[in-house]
Amino acid sequence: MKPLIRIANGQGFWGDWLEAPARQVSGGPIDYLVLDYLAEITMSILQKQKARNPDHGYARDVVPSAVRLLPELVERDIKMVSNAGGVNPRGCARAIAAAAQEAGIRGAKVAVVSGDDIFERLDEMRARGVRFDNLDSGAGIETVRERILSANVYLGAFPLVEALQTGANIVIAGRSTDTALTLAPLIHEFGWPADDWDRLAAGTIAGHIIECGAQCTGGNCSLDWQSIPDMANIGFPIVEARPDGGFVVTKHAGTGGRVTPAVVKEQLLYELGDPGAYLTPDCSADFTSIRLREDGPDRVAVEGVRGGARPPTLKTSITYSAGFKAVGSLVFSWPDAREKAAAADRIVRERTAALGLEFDEMHTEFFGIDACHGALASRNADPQEVEVRIGVRGPQRGAVERFTRELIPLVLTGPPTGTGFGAGRPRVQEVVAYWSSLLPREEIAPTVDVYELA
């Protein structure tokens, strides 16, 4: 057993800095590179893409990144673990394997974890009495059943551990939890038992801290952000973990950003419900037990983590079609920018009402006034410019399409100084909504497949 392993995060979401994975590999010693691509909205985007092309449905940025890094991963025995598979993990693994072979790479393995996709099983499980009631509203899934586009279960770390045990250089999963990407290497390396709740909780918290990439090394930091050094060269996080569950959060030497207890605390509070019982498929983690201390420059030690038993259920991630939307904007300049923007909004509403158009929701924001902070915004009676952004959402595409033709005419039929219309009419988009529920974990049996680059 190694006395210490280093797990580096190189992506916090799909769309994160493309250079970060390569910088994590080349910047210094690491044992694992974890890439987190998924969020609930990402699953919706990926499902749309798969509906247009059944070979898609995964974070396609991962393919060139994996091929670029694979020779060095093999040479230095660095394992890459990612949930880039989205709603098509096998397609993602096949694409990586094909691109790597085309690049002349041989002797590597790509393992894929499947079993999270339950779309084809929904009706069979419902017939047996399994319910998928909405976690927020309590509504039964029959209210949206005919509009469901995808259904996945959040997998934990142990299916990823099984994939690592194949000797794969790259492990691709679909809808795993973000924390599982970091916890799996720890279980694999240190042999933690499935009921060692304190250590599993420690690994879960390590994953939670680094899952959003540079957000725990000074990015998106509200505390004294002006003084954070060299953000153009910001370092992404690394966890240095020990077999006893203790770990240090740090980054490569010579990179920008900052790692302090205050910065780490901001990330710890991210997406946190009950701090005493942070539930994952692997354990329950008690965030109130966490102790942080400085361990040197850009080093924060995390100790004392306590955990509890995993819940009997797994969370589902279900998407369904929820109509259509369109959002458009115009900018009005001084003088009277605020009044012009308000008049534009009023005119659009009057014209759509006269046409008999009905929407589930029509929402207006005034950027430069109160769009971000609402009633808490300071008053600015005479701003230099104001952007008015109007969005509608409704079940009928035709009504939403007609709305898109009512904003641009304001350039000549509304208040003066309107601009920002060069992109033309707003685009109508399908709305894919999110539905979460709970599923007994015994319903799920993950599998692992391996693609060998011969």
Q: What is the pLDDT of residues 49-58, one digit of tens each?
A: 888 899 999 9
Q: What is the average pLDDT value for the chain, to the nearest integer? A: 95
pLDDT for the residue 427: 96
d(CA 42, CA 38): 6
Where does the pLDDT of residue 314 fall: very low under 50, low under 70, confident under 90, or very high at 90 and above?
very high
Tokens standing for residue 343: 């008049």
Checking if the pLDDT of 40 tops 80, the result is: no
Q: Say what the pLDDT of residue 138 is.
A: 96
- Range with the lowest mean pLDDT among 17-21, 37-41, 116-120, 381-385? 37-41
Tokens of residue 101, six digits: 């072979």
Residue of 43 and 147 predicted with greater confidence = 147
| Residues forming CATH 3.30.70 domain(s) in the chain | 318-435
Residue 169 has pLDDT above 90, yes or no: yes
Q: What distance in Å separates the CA atoms of residue 332 and residue 420, rounded to the nearest whole number?
A: 9
Question: Residue type for 184, please?
Answer: A
- Quote the pTM value: 0.94
pLDDT of residue 198 exceeding 80, the answer is yes
Write down the pLDDT at residue 47.
Answer: 82
Average pLDDT of the residues in 182-207: 98
Query: Which pLDDT tens digit goes with each residue over 290-307?
Result: 999 999 999 999 999 999
Checking phi first, is residue 47 left (phi over 0); if not, alpha (psi -120 to 50) or beta?
alpha
Q: What is the pLDDT of residue 6?
A: 98
The pLDDT of residue 146 is: 95
Q: Which whole number is the average pLDDT over 169-183?
A: 97
- The CA-atom distances, in angstroms, between 314 and each of 161, 177, 283, 321, 440 are 18, 11, 11, 23, 6
At 135, is the pLDDT very low, low, confident or very high (cuts 50, 70, 90)? very high
Provide the pLDDT for residue 234: 98
Band of the pLDDT at 39, cuts 50, 70, 90? Answer: confident
Residue 222 pLDDT: 85
| pLDDT of 277 above 90 | yes
Whether residue 289 is predicted with pLDDT greater than 80 in this model: the reply is yes
Q: What is the pLDDT of residue 402?
A: 98
Mean pLDDT of 21-49: 91
Position 376 scores a pLDDT of: 86
Q: List, for residues 336-376, the tens digit of each pLDDT value.
A: 999 999 999 999 999 999 999 999 999 999 999 988 988 88
Q: Where are the alpha helices (DSSP H) in 296-447?
A: 337-354, 397-403, 410-413
Q: Is the per-residue pLDDT at 43 higher than 90?
A: no
Query: DSSP characters for 12-60?
Result: SSTTS-TTHHHHHHHSS--SEEEE----HHHHHHHHHHHHH-TT--S-T
List strand residue ranges (DSSP E) for 246-368, in order: 247-251, 278-279, 284-286, 291-294, 300-303, 306-308, 313-333, 361-367
Specify the pLDDT at position 451.
95
Percent of the chain's residues with pLDDT above 70: 100
Calculate mean pLDDT across residues 386-411.
97
Over 80: is that where the pLDDT of 44 sits? no
Confidence band for 166, pLDDT divided at 50, 70 and 90: very high
The separation between CA 68 and the C-alpha centre of its own chain, rounded to angstroms, equals 23
pLDDT single digits (tens) 75-113: 999 999 999 999 999 999 999 999 999 999 999 999 999
Q: Which CATH fold would you assign to the domain 318-435?
A: Alpha-Beta Plaits (3.30.70)
